[in-house]
Structure formats: structure tokens, C-alpha cells
Chain A
């Protein structure tokens, strides 16, 4: 059965017909051709498919596309203006928080939600905060450092210029 859904994705309103069983991750990757959101485990363990749904990180492999009707979605492609870096992207680059890059989009989307709820996290809080996102390459040290750097920069950005 087809359902018409309308949602906002990276600021753009789209309307589409989707099957009941279409997973949100496939809607994003195959219908919207936003392939920065990846599939790693199928069972909501690895977090490669993490996106923001109405500002909260969710695992799009374990979410039906039809349920996103009326929602606002941000994927890795919508984090910063084309050709520029969000502080979190810059921080992953500066701190060498990525190797193969496959987990990176999900890791970044999760980190954004983490920093929204906890703008100044400790190392321990970052580790728990990204515990639903697996990285097989980096050993996490530099991801923790990247999230810390981003936290610092995002807080400074919020403060008025002296």
C-alpha cells in the first residue's frame, strides 16, 4: 500500500509516495539520493544511519519512512552550507576523528544531538553519548577529542563578540 508523505529534508519540503514497509534510510538514500547516510548493521546497533528527526538523533534503518510524514529531517548533507564546515565537521577534520569515513556521518549527527542536550560534555559523557555509534577504525580517542573541540567552538560562537 502506498502512502503520500510530506516532510522537510535539509530544509527542502518534499512530497513522495512510499510503501508501508519502506525504511527511512532507503527513502533518504535511494529516493532522495542523499547517500551520506549509511547502512552498517540493519539492527540499530551501529548508528551509521543516524539522522536528526525533528532535531533528535534516530537510527533511520529502524524507522519507517511513512512515520516521518510531517517531520523535519536533517542528514549529513544538510549540516553545513555547501563547501563549508559546521564546527563539528571542522573538529573531526582537525582531530583526525575519521579514517574510512563510513561511520562519520552518523557519528556527526549523533554528536550534534549530544551537544544540543549537553553543550559541555566530559570525555566520559561523550563516550556514553556516542555509544550507539560504532567506529571500527579510529579507536574513538580522536572522536572524543573532536566532540570536545566542537563543544568549545559552538559555545564560543554563541557568546556575543567582546
Chain B
């Protein structure tokens, strides 16, 4: 495993130091957005549409305004006076802040009620009378392009149908030819349904505009405070909110998972409300509002995988239909409408691939958030990992052996994938073999053979995935034109203690600990002497935020590079203090010493003190550094997951017996935190695999808009996770780290699906879409017996 360079007291990389941020959470002293209380604060509640698609004929505010304590009802017409009723999405589409004439999905914001009290605001929202004229919605994305389908976005110039965009990568003709000539071809339509991040804290904000200072302060549940500041300035600049007057504070965040990247309409309404009223306005989403707004996944993928008769994979092709709801508000880098979906060729070495995608409008909520996933990697990995298993079953080959046969080999890195990525590093064979050994793969294979003889259903499922994270190199990756770098600013105080600030924002990942460990590693200052701050745009350096596993690859790298700048400066100071030349000095954690005379040394603390008190002539005083890190490439974490299940024939009940996850996330900063992230991601992997999906009826009504019916796994559904690591450091990251938190969410669903389908294989069942529930299994068993 990882060799620690620092002592436990210094707590650099590789030490499982306990988290610095825990104390406040354990004592109920966390500060989440709903905990913010400002003098004179008003409360906002949204009125939402009961219909999926309807004309708004009239909004009658009278009864609401008659309620004691209701101060205002804000409609789309009100916002239209300021041209604030629409806002741009990150992908150059447009989204309503509040509608003026039409609602496009159930639970869309219709108007906002502002009141002195949360309870009164809810009463006010109940009392608003909206006259709707319901229309027939488009719910099935496959019908969105039918002739005669209603044109959902007549507001958009040149929009003649409900098609949003076509995207493709790879060589269609060659891929088709290889598939046509192949010995073995497997095909499948795979749907990854709509799911929701369902962080336990919902979204919300407290917006406060001071008419005297003209400053806007917004406490916001956001993973990307700086980007939000810029977006607010771009959206509301014309009414006088310019960027230097906007302060976004992202306080403690109760889980983000991608769901707290977008700008939700209610944020904008709250900002408009405080701007107009001049008092702070709080909006806190309730759970039902949360679950029916925003979503992840919802790709329908027609997959084809071709191989020769020996099982050597030759080509992969995927044609996808993406249901984006009524607007494309995907939180993707600008040049990547489908995110990193082209990672879909997987961990395997073959030449030919083609991926294409068409996105359509429907009468569903917009979203397309990167739910614990670096922009559509989950969809990509599910497609290839299901197809590889299907191919193994068709060939009658062990899925593990088929994978080992086709893996990109260790010495092939950096590896150019057929769809254009340059995989940085990995040792897929070692990772899978470690997983097989840890779970006892061969024994389970024997047990399965025995059980099958008895007519029992037992399955073993594998997923060997490659992620692509850490967006990203600015030549390719930007959000609204802003390059996706990230930042670190370090101030070391005269007494050798430090404060460091970052452009990212932790939502539970433990940045206050891991960033301190990176600095401890680089500077030799104990992690406990380093304070970490994020989330306040008035103080933190600009960065694009925390999502897509980018914090360690970008801000973590920025921390290392900034610290190295300080170390260079420190060397000059140490040389001055020791009266030697810089070339005579060597660094070991925490001190500079004279080569060949280690007793002549200066500790980092002594050097820092001198930077303020005994400055070498001509040198700039102080000991501070800032770095904005623009990564040269993405990182490619990978892993091998194996799941063993048993299925009860009579009821379809699924019992996950074992689950082993081996991750390769490069060098590890804090093994305890990495393991914790993997555990959490795995539970967020079993969730869509077996429990969660947002369901709609034909009228576009959401059928499971509370946690009574949207089935977030408890400790009972969540198995005991077994984890381990292989380490192939990223060759281009300053710390050799890759990012980890999303791998389990990406890698677990196909391992579980493959296991369940493997169990059902003797019955002739070849595929089931997730979530694979007992009811779905039972129906499949009935249909196949």
C-alpha cells in the first residue's frame, strides 16, 4: 500500500487522520442554509403546477394576499417587467424562471409567495388560484419526434420539432463494417432511468440585498459558488447586479452529488424578491419539490458489441436517445453536450467504435445533473459492462476471463481510446485479479454450479470500469466559457500555522482534512496547524467548484503546486539563514538541511518566521502563494467490482450476499476517507440498481414524489461493503492522485445488474433494465417459465 513520507503527527498523504470538520457536525453546530436566520427575514414558498403541460389562463393572487402576513405573490409577468422570467442554461438552452403562459412539467414553479413566516407562506401558496388549461403532454421520449407531436418549444427560434441536438463520435462506416463481418454480435436496448440525487438536505437559499450598499449576499446550497456568482452577474447584470457586488456563501452542505450544481428557478426568484423588497428572503425546498425537480441519467441506449469467435472484442456501437425534459439544463462542460459519454468503450482494447446521441424535449422536469458521476460516465459504463457480460453469456465464456482477455494492458498506457481519450494509467488485470481473489471467485463459481443443479438461482456479476474525471484541461473544458481550472491560496502565518482557501466546495468529502494533508505532505507543517476554507466568494480564490470528482485532480493539484512555490521560496530563506547556497540544501519533510551536514538545518517553521522577521535582502516579505491549476489531462480512476446474489424464485426477492470493490484511484491522501467515499458511492450504486427510479404515468404525473415511495436504501438494504485498492499513480497529477468518490456509483450498478441477470440466465433471461426490483424479477420469471 501507500508509503507515508510524513509522521502521523504531521499527517501528510497516506495517513488515516480523523476529520477536522467532524466536531461541529457531531455537536449539532453545523451551519446549513436552513440554519441561517437574518434580521427581518421573509419566507418564500413556490406554487407549483399540478399538470405536466398546460396553458396558464389566469393567476389570481387576491385570496393569498388577503392572508395576514403574505406580502407578495410574484409571477412570471412580474419578472417579465425586468426581463428575468427566462434564464440561460449551461448548455445554451433557455429555462423559465417563472412562466408567463405555459407550464412544461408537473411541479414546475408557477409563482412565488412571500410571507413573514414559513407557515403563512405555505397557506398563501395554497390560496393562490391558478386557472390552467391542460394539454396532452409528451411523456415518452420515443414519441417526441413523431409526426404530429406538439411542438414543445415554439418560443425558440428555428425550433421545428422536439429534437434538441445530434452528437456523434467515431467512425460509423468502419464500425458498421466490422460489426457486419464479426463472428459474434450481441445487441440490447438499455435504459438508465431518471433518478434523483436525493441528498438528505434539499436545496435552498437565503438571499439578502442591501439597498444602501447595493450588495447581494446569498447563502446557497451550491457546489460551485464562484460559478454561480458569475451566472448571477450574467443573468441579472442588466438590472444592476454586477459581480463585485455579489457574494455567494456556500455554508455547510448536506450532500450535493451533482444536484447542487444547477441554478434552480427559485434561487433566481428569491434573489429577485430580495432585490425588489429589500429584505432577506429564505427559500427551502421541501422533499417533494426536491424529488420532482432535477434528475440524472435517462438515457435509452441501443448497444451493439461485436467479437471474433474467440471472444476478442472488435467493435462497439451505441445509439442513444436522451430525454432532457423541456429544456437542456445539463450541467456539462460547454463543448460536451453528452459529457464524457464517449468513455463508453470501457477498459478494453479494440479499434472501432461509434457513439451517437439524439436529445429530445418532453414534458418532464429539466436536469441532467452529473449525479456522483463525471458527466454521463455512469451511462457509458453501464452500457459497455452490461454488453461485455451479454457477450460472455453468448460465447459461453466466464465473464472474468473475457474481461482479462480484452483488457488494455498495463504497458499500453497512455492508451488512446477509439473515441479519442488518452487514458493516463491503470493495471486492470491486477485490479480484477485482486477482486477475484478477495471474494473467492473460483469457489463461488463452483457453488453456483452446484446451486444450479438444485434449481437455485445464484449469480455472480462483475464490472471493470474506467472513469474519466477531473475536468479539466482548459483547452477543452469550460462552463459558460470559464475554463475548468481550480485554485488554492495558502497563507502561512509567522508562527508557522496556515490558512488555505480553495475554489472548490466540500459537501461531505472531507476537504478540510484532505487539503490540510496535502499541504502537510508538501510543507511539513502538521495538518492540525492548517485551517481550510471554501465556499465564500468574497474570500476564496476563484474556482469552478466540486463535482465530477474534480477537487483532488484540480484543487488538490493546485494546493501541491502552490505549496511547492512556497518551498522554493523557503529554500532561498533557508540558504540565507544557514549562509550556504541554495544548491547546497536538500529538503526532507519539514526542514531544509545542508547536504552532507544534516545537523545544519532550518525547520519550515523557522523559515516561515524569518519570512516575516528576518527577510533576505531584496526578497518580498511574507509566506503566501496562490496557484490556479489547469490540468494537462483528465485522470482515469478505475476499478473491479464483484457482486454475488441469490434470487428467490417464488417471490423474486434478491439477496446481495457479497460485494467486493477494488478501486485504483492512484495515490491516496487519506485511506479512511477514500474508503468512506467508496462505501457511500456503493450504496448510491445499489440504489439505482435495485430501488430508485422516478416514475411517470401517461399524463406526466410523478408517481413517487416523496421518500415514502422514492426508495432510498436504508442500512438494511445496503450490504456490508468490502473494499480494497490497487495503486497506479496518475503520471501527470502532481500527487499521482486521481479522484475516487464517483467510481463506486458508476461501477456498482452494472456489477449488481450483471449478478442478478447471471442468476436468471438458466431461465433464459438475458437482460433487465435497472432498477431490478423483486417485482420486475418475478414478472420476468413468470414470463420465462
- Interface residues, chain A, CB within 8 Å of chain B? 19, 21-22, 26, 29-30, 33-43, 45-46, 48, 75-77, 79-80, 85, 89, 92-94, 96, 98-105, 108, 123, 126-128, 130-144
Contacts and interface: CB of A to CB of B under 8 A. Distances in A.
A128 B717 CA distance: 10
A80 B708 CA distance: 33
Nearest to A140: B715
Contact of B34 (A39, A127, A138, A139): A39
Interface stretch (B45-53, B128-136, B253-261): B253-261
Given A126-B715, A139-B679, A46 B28 contact: no
B28 A37 contact: yes
B187 interface: no
Contacts of A34: 28
B721 A139 contact: yes
Contacts of B28: 34-37, 75-77, 105
Contacts of A42: 286-288, 706
A89 B508 contact: no
Contacts of B714: 127, 130-134, 140
Contacts of A40: 200-202, 254, 287, 707
Contacts of A19: 119
Contacts of A100: 25, 199-201, 252-255, 507-508
A101 B675 CA distance: 17
Contact of A80 (B27, B252, B286, B706): B27
Contacts of B507: 100
A119 B201 CA distance: 31
Interface residues of B, number: 60
A142 B16 CA distance: 14
A142 B676 contact: yes
**Highest count of chain A CB atoms <10 Å: which of B28, B199, B677, B679:** B28
B252 to A, nearest CB: 7
A21 B119 CA distance: 9
Contact of B35 (A35, A93, A96): A35
B715 A102 contact: no
Interface string B1-34: 0000000000000000011011111111111101
Contacts of A41: 200, 287, 706-707
A154 B23 CA distance: 20
A144 B22 contact: no
Interface of B: 18-19, 21-32, 34-35, 37, 118-119, 197-202, 252-255, 257, 284, 286-288, 507-510, 672-673, 675-684, 706-708, 712, 714-716, 718, 720-721
Contact of B19 (A89, A96, A108): A96
A17 to B, nearest CB: 14
B27 A138 contact: no
Contact of A136 (B22, B198, B286, B716): B198
A130 B201 CA distance: 18
Contacts of B708: 43, 45
B672 A99 contact: no
A23 to B, nearest CB: 9
**Highest count of chain A CB atoms <10 Å: which of B25, B199, B712:** B25
A139 B508 contact: no
Given A40-B200, A43-B287, A127 B255 contact: no
Contacts of A141: 679, 720-721
Given A45-B708, A139-B676, 6 more contacts: A93-B22, A100-B254, A100-B507, A100-B508, A102-B255, A134-B712
A48 B34 CA distance: 13
B26 A139 contact: no
Contact of A140 (B199, B200, B672, B679): B679
A101 B252 CA distance: 9
Contacts of B22: 92-93, 98, 101
A41 B681 CA distance: 21
B715 A127 contact: yes
Contacts of B706: 41-43, 45
A34 B682 CA distance: 33
A129 to B, nearest CB: 8
A130 B717 CA distance: 12
A135 B360 CA distance: 34
A62 B198 CA distance: 20
A138 B680 contact: yes
B32 A136 contact: no
A36 B31 CA distance: 9
Contact of A89 (B27, B253, B678, B683): B27
Nearest to A106: B200
Contacts of B119: 19, 21-22
Nearest to A37: B28
5 contacts: A38-B201, A40-B201, A43-B706, A99-B676, A123-B720
Given A101-B25, A136-B255, A36 B30 contact: yes
A138 B200 CA distance: 12
Contacts of B25: 98, 100-101, 104-105
Contacts of B681: 139
A139 B707 contact: no
A46 B284 CA distance: 17
A76 B508 contact: no
A154 to B, nearest CB: 16
Contacts of B37: 30, 33
Given A136-B200, A137-B255, A102 B30 contact: yes
A108 B26 contact: yes
B679 A48 contact: no
Given A127-B716, A136-B684, A38 B27 contact: no
Contacts of B284: 39
A138 B676 contact: yes
Nearest to A104: B25
Contacts of B679: 138-142
A110 to B, nearest CB: 11
A96 B508 contact: no
A14 B42 CA distance: 26
Given A43-B706, A136-B684, A138-B680, A99 B509 contact: yes
Given A100-B254, A138-B676, A131 B27 contact: no
A143 to B, nearest CB: 7
B287 A140 contact: no
B46 to A, nearest CB: 15
Nearest to A144: B715
Nearest to A103: B200
Given A35-B28, A101-B30, A140 B718 contact: yes
Contacts of B198: 136
A43 B568 CA distance: 57
Nearest to B679: A139
A131 B718 CA distance: 10
A80 B255 CA distance: 25
B255 to A, nearest CB: 5
Contact of A77 (B19, B27, B35): B27
B56 to A, nearest CB: 27
Contact of A134 (B26, B27, B678, B707): B707
Contacts of B678: 139
A127 to B, nearest CB: 4
A9 to B, nearest CB: 13
Nearest to B253: A100
A100 B508 CA distance: 4
B505 to A, nearest CB: 12
A99 B19 CA distance: 9
A100 to B, nearest CB: 3
A6 to B, nearest CB: 22
Contacts of B27: 36, 76-77, 79-80, 89
A21 to B, nearest CB: 7
Nearest to B198: A136
Contacts of A75: 28
